[in-house]
Amino acid sequence: MAMQSQDKTVTGGFDAPVFDAQSVFRALMDAMARPGTVQPITPRASAPAPLGPVAAALALTLCDADTPVWLDAALATDGAIARWLGFHAGAPVTEDPADAAFALIGDGASLGSFDRFARGTQDYPDRSATLIVQVADLTAGPALTLTGPGIKHSTTLAPGGLPERFATLWADNHALFPRGIDMVLAAPGAVAALPRTTRIAITEN
Protein backbone atom coordinates (compact mmCIF):
# COMPACT_ATOMS: atom_id res chain seq x y z
CA MET A 1 0.00 0.00 0.00
CA ALA A 2 2.84 2.40 0.81
CA MET A 3 4.40 1.81 -2.62
CA GLN A 4 1.03 2.38 -4.31
CA SER A 5 0.58 5.70 -2.47
CA GLN A 6 4.11 6.77 -3.41
CA ASP A 7 3.47 5.95 -7.08
CA LYS A 8 0.40 8.22 -7.10
CA THR A 9 2.49 11.17 -5.92
CA VAL A 10 4.99 10.92 -8.79
CA THR A 11 2.55 10.13 -11.62
CA GLY A 12 -0.35 12.07 -13.08
CA GLY A 13 1.43 15.26 -14.12
CA PHE A 14 1.00 16.92 -17.50
CA ASP A 15 2.15 14.78 -20.43
CA ALA A 16 3.15 17.92 -22.34
CA PRO A 17 3.67 20.51 -19.59
CA VAL A 18 3.99 23.64 -21.76
CA PHE A 19 1.12 22.81 -24.13
CA ASP A 20 -1.18 21.50 -21.39
CA ALA A 21 -0.55 24.44 -19.06
CA GLN A 22 -1.18 26.92 -21.89
CA SER A 23 -4.47 25.22 -22.78
CA VAL A 24 -5.71 25.24 -19.18
CA PHE A 25 -4.55 28.84 -18.68
CA ARG A 26 -6.48 30.01 -21.76
CA ALA A 27 -9.66 28.39 -20.46
CA LEU A 28 -9.13 29.98 -17.05
CA MET A 29 -8.51 33.43 -18.53
CA ASP A 30 -11.69 33.13 -20.59
CA ALA A 31 -13.55 32.18 -17.42
CA MET A 32 -12.12 35.13 -15.48
CA ALA A 33 -12.86 37.58 -18.32
CA ARG A 34 -16.48 36.40 -18.54
CA PRO A 35 -17.52 35.47 -15.00
CA GLY A 36 -20.18 32.79 -14.76
CA THR A 37 -19.49 31.26 -18.16
CA VAL A 38 -18.71 27.56 -18.22
CA GLN A 39 -15.43 26.88 -19.99
CA PRO A 40 -14.64 23.29 -21.03
CA ILE A 41 -11.34 21.79 -19.91
CA THR A 42 -10.05 18.46 -21.12
CA PRO A 43 -8.60 16.71 -18.06
CA ARG A 44 -4.83 16.66 -18.49
CA ALA A 45 -3.66 15.65 -15.03
CA SER A 46 -4.56 13.13 -12.36
CA ALA A 47 -3.72 13.53 -8.71
CA PRO A 48 -4.34 11.31 -5.69
CA ALA A 49 -8.01 11.21 -4.73
CA PRO A 50 -10.05 13.17 -3.91
CA LEU A 51 -8.38 15.93 -5.96
CA GLY A 52 -10.15 15.77 -9.32
CA PRO A 53 -8.45 16.13 -12.72
CA VAL A 54 -9.69 19.66 -13.44
CA ALA A 55 -8.62 21.04 -10.05
CA ALA A 56 -5.34 19.15 -10.45
CA ALA A 57 -4.75 20.72 -13.87
CA LEU A 58 -5.49 24.19 -12.47
CA ALA A 59 -3.05 23.60 -9.62
CA LEU A 60 -0.28 22.52 -12.00
CA THR A 61 -0.93 25.57 -14.17
CA LEU A 62 -1.05 28.17 -11.40
CA CYS A 63 1.14 26.91 -8.58
CA ASP A 64 4.92 26.94 -8.28
CA ALA A 65 7.69 27.26 -5.71
CA ASP A 66 6.69 30.87 -4.95
CA THR A 67 3.00 30.19 -4.28
CA PRO A 68 2.19 28.56 -0.94
CA VAL A 69 -0.88 26.31 -1.16
CA TRP A 70 -3.38 25.47 1.56
CA LEU A 71 -5.41 22.25 1.45
CA ASP A 72 -8.75 21.82 3.19
CA ALA A 73 -9.38 18.82 5.43
CA ALA A 74 -10.81 16.79 2.55
CA LEU A 75 -7.52 17.07 0.62
CA ALA A 76 -4.98 17.04 3.44
CA THR A 77 -5.90 13.69 4.96
CA ASP A 78 -2.84 11.54 4.27
CA GLY A 79 -0.36 13.99 2.78
CA ALA A 80 -0.44 12.39 -0.69
CA ILE A 81 -1.79 15.51 -2.43
CA ALA A 82 0.78 17.72 -0.71
CA ARG A 83 3.55 15.42 -1.95
CA TRP A 84 2.03 15.37 -5.44
CA LEU A 85 1.99 19.17 -5.57
CA GLY A 86 5.55 19.32 -4.33
CA PHE A 87 6.77 16.82 -6.91
CA HIS A 88 4.95 18.16 -9.97
CA ALA A 89 4.71 21.90 -9.23
CA GLY A 90 7.34 22.49 -6.57
CA ALA A 91 4.63 24.23 -4.57
CA PRO A 92 4.98 24.36 -0.78
CA VAL A 93 1.93 23.46 1.30
CA THR A 94 1.17 25.67 4.28
CA GLU A 95 -0.97 24.81 7.29
CA ASP A 96 -1.98 28.47 7.72
CA PRO A 97 -4.63 29.58 5.20
CA ALA A 98 -3.64 33.20 5.76
CA ASP A 99 -0.24 32.45 4.17
CA ALA A 100 -1.65 30.77 1.06
CA ALA A 101 -1.56 32.25 -2.43
CA PHE A 102 -3.88 29.45 -3.52
CA ALA A 103 -6.29 27.30 -1.54
CA LEU A 104 -7.51 23.96 -2.86
CA ILE A 105 -10.95 23.13 -1.52
CA GLY A 106 -12.05 19.54 -2.00
CA ASP A 107 -15.33 19.93 -0.12
CA GLY A 108 -17.05 23.09 -1.34
CA ALA A 109 -20.02 22.57 0.99
CA SER A 110 -17.74 23.08 4.00
CA LEU A 111 -16.73 26.61 2.96
CA GLY A 112 -17.22 29.09 5.76
CA SER A 113 -16.17 32.70 6.15
CA PHE A 114 -13.35 33.81 3.88
CA ASP A 115 -11.78 35.75 6.78
CA ARG A 116 -9.09 33.11 7.29
CA PHE A 117 -7.65 33.67 3.81
CA ALA A 118 -5.43 36.55 2.69
CA ARG A 119 -7.67 39.21 1.16
CA GLY A 120 -5.01 41.76 0.26
CA THR A 121 -4.70 45.32 1.52
CA GLN A 122 -5.97 48.62 0.20
CA ASP A 123 -2.49 49.37 -1.14
CA TYR A 124 -1.81 45.84 -2.38
CA PRO A 125 -5.15 44.19 -3.20
CA ASP A 126 -3.35 41.63 -5.37
CA ARG A 127 -1.85 40.06 -2.26
CA SER A 128 -4.90 37.91 -1.80
CA ALA A 129 -5.72 34.24 -2.13
CA THR A 130 -7.38 32.50 -5.03
CA LEU A 131 -9.62 29.60 -4.05
CA ILE A 132 -9.88 26.60 -6.37
CA VAL A 133 -13.08 24.90 -5.26
CA GLN A 134 -14.21 21.48 -6.45
CA VAL A 135 -17.92 21.28 -7.18
CA ALA A 136 -20.09 18.45 -8.43
CA ASP A 137 -21.29 20.41 -11.47
CA LEU A 138 -21.98 23.92 -12.72
CA THR A 139 -25.56 23.58 -13.94
CA ALA A 140 -27.62 21.51 -11.49
CA GLY A 141 -27.25 23.41 -8.22
CA PRO A 142 -29.14 26.42 -6.87
CA ALA A 143 -29.27 29.12 -9.53
CA LEU A 144 -27.20 32.24 -8.82
CA THR A 145 -27.64 35.51 -10.70
CA LEU A 146 -24.31 37.16 -11.49
CA THR A 147 -23.70 40.79 -12.44
CA GLY A 148 -20.62 42.97 -12.70
CA PRO A 149 -17.63 43.59 -14.97
CA GLY A 150 -17.37 41.15 -17.87
CA ILE A 151 -21.09 40.32 -17.71
CA LYS A 152 -23.57 41.93 -20.10
CA HIS A 153 -26.65 42.68 -18.01
CA SER A 154 -26.65 39.43 -15.96
CA THR A 155 -25.98 35.73 -16.25
CA THR A 156 -26.90 32.62 -14.29
CA LEU A 157 -24.64 29.95 -12.86
CA ALA A 158 -25.88 26.94 -10.88
CA PRO A 159 -22.95 25.23 -9.14
CA GLY A 160 -23.73 22.14 -7.12
CA GLY A 161 -21.91 21.56 -3.85
CA LEU A 162 -21.54 25.03 -2.31
CA PRO A 163 -22.93 26.00 1.11
CA GLU A 164 -26.53 27.20 1.30
CA ARG A 165 -25.41 30.63 2.51
CA PHE A 166 -22.84 31.05 -0.26
CA ALA A 167 -24.52 34.18 -1.66
CA THR A 168 -24.20 35.84 1.74
CA LEU A 169 -20.58 34.80 2.12
CA TRP A 170 -19.84 36.20 -1.32
CA ALA A 171 -21.63 39.48 -0.61
CA ASP A 172 -19.32 39.99 2.38
CA ASN A 173 -16.34 39.30 0.14
CA HIS A 174 -17.53 41.63 -2.63
CA ALA A 175 -18.05 44.44 -0.13
CA LEU A 176 -14.29 44.48 0.56
CA PHE A 177 -13.40 45.48 -3.03
CA PRO A 178 -10.67 46.17 -4.11
CA ARG A 179 -9.68 43.64 -1.47
CA GLY A 180 -11.13 40.14 -1.40
CA ILE A 181 -10.54 36.62 -2.64
CA ASP A 182 -11.15 35.34 -6.16
CA MET A 183 -12.68 31.92 -6.75
CA VAL A 184 -12.39 29.30 -9.45
CA LEU A 185 -14.97 26.51 -9.57
CA ALA A 186 -13.64 23.20 -10.87
CA ALA A 187 -16.27 20.74 -12.08
CA PRO A 188 -15.83 17.55 -14.11
CA GLY A 189 -14.63 18.69 -17.52
CA ALA A 190 -15.27 22.41 -16.98
CA VAL A 191 -14.34 25.51 -15.04
CA ALA A 192 -16.07 28.78 -14.09
CA ALA A 193 -14.68 31.82 -12.32
CA LEU A 194 -15.98 34.26 -9.75
CA PRO A 195 -13.68 37.29 -9.53
CA ARG A 196 -14.14 39.51 -6.50
CA THR A 197 -15.76 42.13 -8.75
CA THR A 198 -18.75 39.85 -9.38
CA ARG A 199 -22.01 40.40 -7.51
CA ILE A 200 -24.15 37.34 -6.71
CA ALA A 201 -27.80 37.00 -5.83
CA ILE A 202 -29.97 33.92 -5.48
CA THR A 203 -32.23 33.55 -8.50
CA GLU A 204 -35.87 33.65 -7.53
CA ASN A 205 -37.97 30.75 -8.85
> Considering the domain 2-197 in this protein, what is its CATH number?
3.40.50.11310
- pLDDT, one tens digit per residue, over 119-144 is 999 999 999 999 999 999 999 999 99
Q: So where are the chain's domains?
A: 2-197
Burial class (CB in 10 A: 0-12, 13-18, 19+), 8: middle
Handedness of CA 156, 162, 164, 168 (dihedral sign): negative
Angle at 38 between CA 37 and CA 40, to 5 degrees: 140
- Looking at residue 16, what is its pLDDT? 83
**Residue 4 pLDDT > 70, yes or no?**
no
- Looking at residue 7, what is its pLDDT? 60
CA dist., res. 29 & res. 39, Å (int)? 10
- Looking at residue 148, what is its pLDDT? 97
- pLDDT, one tens digit per residue, over 30-80 is 999 999 999 999 877 889 999 999 999 999 999 999 999 999 999 999 999
Confidence of residue 3 (pLDDT cuts 50, 70, 90): very low
- Looking at residue 8, what is its pLDDT? 67
Confidence of residue 2 (pLDDT cuts 50, 70, 90): very low
